[in-house]
Chain A
Amino acid sequence: MELTHEDVLNILELLEGSDVEYLELAAGGTKLIADRNGAGPGIRTATGERPSAEPPPVAAPDSEDVATQPESPQVGPGLVTVTAPVVGVFYRSPEPGAPPFTEVGESVAEDSTVGLVEVMKMFNGVTAGASGRVTEIFAENGAFVEFGEPLLTIRPESAA
């Protein structure tokens, strides 16, 4: 049995509403590890293939100037910066053609998935880490991102 991307999202949704702290699930060539206590992303999924057709084109690295370092974006006071949990390719949507996980101005929950970072065919979910409204998204779809690189900012909503 292979897990589809939809299965994974469903499982994650179920987990979000449960007390389960750690789950490791292997089915066919797919392995899913969800760990609430992990220092990195809340959810880590590993699949043999990105579900669905062609991945979005990644900027051809050869044409890229090697000296281009990611600029540290200016982050306003009171904003939470969500950073890349691993080095790899950043995706804003669960699959090509699908609507993005989030857009500027939308609100997210603390454990919402706001993006994916792919490391050698392994897709790592990026969780918001704070509930609030997305104020800016720095990383483009298909961009190469470093570990710890700022991806987006969230203005937290008051806990009250």
Chain B
Amino acid sequence: MRIGRVLIANRGEIAERIVRACRTLGIESVVAVSAADKDSLAAQRADRAVCIGPAQVSESYLNQDALLAAALGTGADAIHPGYGFLAENPAFADACERHGVTFVGPRGETVRTMGNKLAAREVAERYGVPVVPGSAHIARYEDAVKIAGDIGYPVLFKAAAGGGGRGIRIVHGPDELRSTFEHASAEGAAAFGDGALYLERYVAAARHIEVQVFADRHGNVLHLGERDCSMQRRYQKIVEEAPAALIPEEARASLSESAAVLTKGIDYENAGTVEFLYDEDRGEYYFLEMNTRIQVEHPVTEEITGLDLVAMQLQVAAGDPLPVTQDEVRFTGHAIQCRITAESPENGFRPAPGRIVDWRPPEGPGCRVDTHCHDGYLVPPFYDSLLAKLIVHGRDRAEATERMRVALRRFKVTGIDTNIDFLAFLTAHPDFADGRFTTSWVERQLSDR
């Protein structure tokens, strides 16, 4: 099956990124835009833009019928969902298939299984991938008491239907268990329509390590190395790097192997990311979740492998075999990405949409900027605050870090507030250079400041 025309069901930098991948492969691109994004960079660079609805996401980028109508109406044979929005919505993947439009991603059933944390945890265990010591579904408070006692405090309650850091509550001791159990259950029911909970050991010194995987429908599976995304604020990644040079070599190898086994086991197709928690104190890693889409931080993997992951997504979706074998994958140097956002760190990271006056991204060797912004661009208030991804590549982590520092200094944006100075502070910190940081490091810096 050939893909000749792709509808891009997303916005911002990733829409522009997908347009570029389409151009590389000689595929026509149609970008679906809301009324607020009609003049976006992706709209200008795509072969065609189609306005699918007003600015509100429920009427545009989350409107499955409008997106399908746009795909069918423009003769697109595939839909690339990017990340966020409908990228991990199994009903949308199914609807695409029903209407004969190729969904650039895994099958709907895979998205459904891996989107449920409990189901995903069970699948991981089935394939021998270590999971955080904890429970399956907790039905009664009495069960929680016993399991929490077995695991040892502190423990975490997690909503089965949660994700992206939402629906997680920490319990420090037995006295907090009942109230937290009740709160977390009610919260899960309200936020996700599902009050099901499970318990996990709370890992105090944790690193977030994830493995990029790729699989085609001919049974070929690749792992493209790890990324360390431990620099987080409120479970949102800020700085990402590849490879995960700060954990022991044996752990890295074992983690990648686990990810590949899981990917193969579930008969996965297309790009995916298996996320792990690495426990620094115990030297163990545990499966967290699998993201069944392209990740925001995919460029660091592209930089160290020289592969175009978005183009590979389109090739695999078209039924082509993966363009490389595991033996042919070469890792070169070290890459770091910073997420540049329209946020005001001085005001509690309040979103700061508005009109950009001057947009001066840095240039130079080993420096890449994925963005949809330009001079005079109006950052709309309806969407997330990501403005750009600044990616640097160096021979080793030290060179990459130095390049990132220089690039951030040279990144000039006027007209709106950004987090550039905050990123400069983080990456210039001795703990960053020394690799002495875990997932709670950023929050600690903020409370110390």
Question: Cβ of A146: which chain B residues have Cβ within 8 Å of it?
Answer: 50-52, 70
Establish whether residues A86 and B53, one from each chain, have CB atoms under 8 Å apart when the complex forms. Answer: yes
Count how many pairs of residues, one from A and one from B, have CB atoms less than 8 Å apart in the complex: 61
Stretch at the interface among B71-79, B197-205, B420-428: B71-79
- Chain B residues with CB below 8 A from A39, complex form: 54
* B70: nearest chain-A partner, CB-CB: A87
Q: Is the CB of A66 within 8 A of B5?
A: yes
Contact B52 A147 (CB under 8 A): yes
| Residue from B48, B54, B69, B75 within 8 A of A88 (CB atoms) | B69
Q: Size class of B's contact patch? A: 20 to 34
Assuming the contacts A119-B65, A147-B54, asked whether A62 and B75 have C-beta atoms less than 8 A apart, the reply is: yes
Query: Do A61 and B72 touch (CB < 8 A)?
Result: yes
Q: How far is the CA of A68 from the CA of B73 in the complex (A)?
A: 12
List the B side residues contacting A69 at CB < 8 Å: 48-49
Is B30 interfacial (CB-CB < 8 Å)? yes
Chain A residue nearest to B4 in the complex (CB): A62
Residue in B51, B65, B68, B74 whose beta carbon sits within 8 Å of that of A66 in the complex: B74
User: Which among A64, A122, A147 is the interface contact of B75 at CB below 8 angstroms?
Assistant: A64
Q: Which of A22-70 contact B (CB under 8 A)?
A: 39, 60-62, 64, 66-69
Q: Is residue A120 contacting chain B, with contact meaning CB distance below 8 A?
A: yes
By beta carbon, the residue of chain B nearest A46 is: B65
What is the minimal beta-carbon distance from A44 to any residue of chain B, in angstroms? Answer: 12
Let me know if A101 is at the binding interface, CB within 8 A.
Answer: no
Cα of A44 to Cα of B388 in the assembled complex, Å: 39
| A64, B75: Cα distance in complex, Å | 8
Q: Provided the pairs A66-B28, A87-B69 are in contact, do residues A144 and B48 lie with their beta carbons within 8 angstroms? A: no
Chain A, interface size category, equals 20 to 34
Question: Contacts A146-B51, A147-B35, A148-B51; is A89 near B73 (CB within 8 Å)?
Answer: yes
B47 adjacent to chain A (CB < 8 Å): yes
B51 partner, pick from A67, A118, A147, beta carbons under 8 A: A147
Which residues of A lie under 8 Å from residue B69 when comparing CB positions? Answer: 86-89, 118-120
Is B296 among interface residues, defined by CB-CB distance under 8 A?
Answer: no
Quick one: given A66-B47, A87-B50, are A61 and B73 in contact (CB under 8 Å)? yes
Q: B66 at the A/B interface (Cβ < 8 Å)?
A: yes
How many Å lie between the Cα of A143 and that of B364 in the bound state?
A: 48
Contact A66/B75 with A119-B65, A147-B54, A149-B51 known, Cβ cut-off 8 Å: yes
- Choice from A61, A67, A88, A122 contacting B47 with Cβ under 8 Å: A67
Contacts of B47 in A (CB 8 A): 66-67
Interface residues of B in 8-47 (CB under 8 A from A): 28, 30, 35, 47
A68 contact set on B, CB distance < 8 A: 48
* 28 residue pairs from A and B, CB less than 8 Å apart: A61-B73, A61-B74, A62-B75, A64-B74, A66-B5, A66-B28, A66-B47, A66-B48, A67-B48, A69-B48, A69-B49, A86-B53, A86-B66, A87-B51, A87-B66, A87-B69, A87-B70, A120-B68, A122-B65, A144-B74, A146-B51, A146-B52, A147-B35, A147-B52, A147-B53, A147-B54, A147-B66, A148-B51
Please report B residues at the A interface, Cβ cutoff 8 Å: 5, 28, 30, 35, 47-54, 60, 65-66, 68-70, 72-75
Residue ranges of A at the interface with B (Cβ–Cβ < 8 Å)? 39, 60-62, 64, 66-69, 86-89, 118-120, 122, 144, 146-149
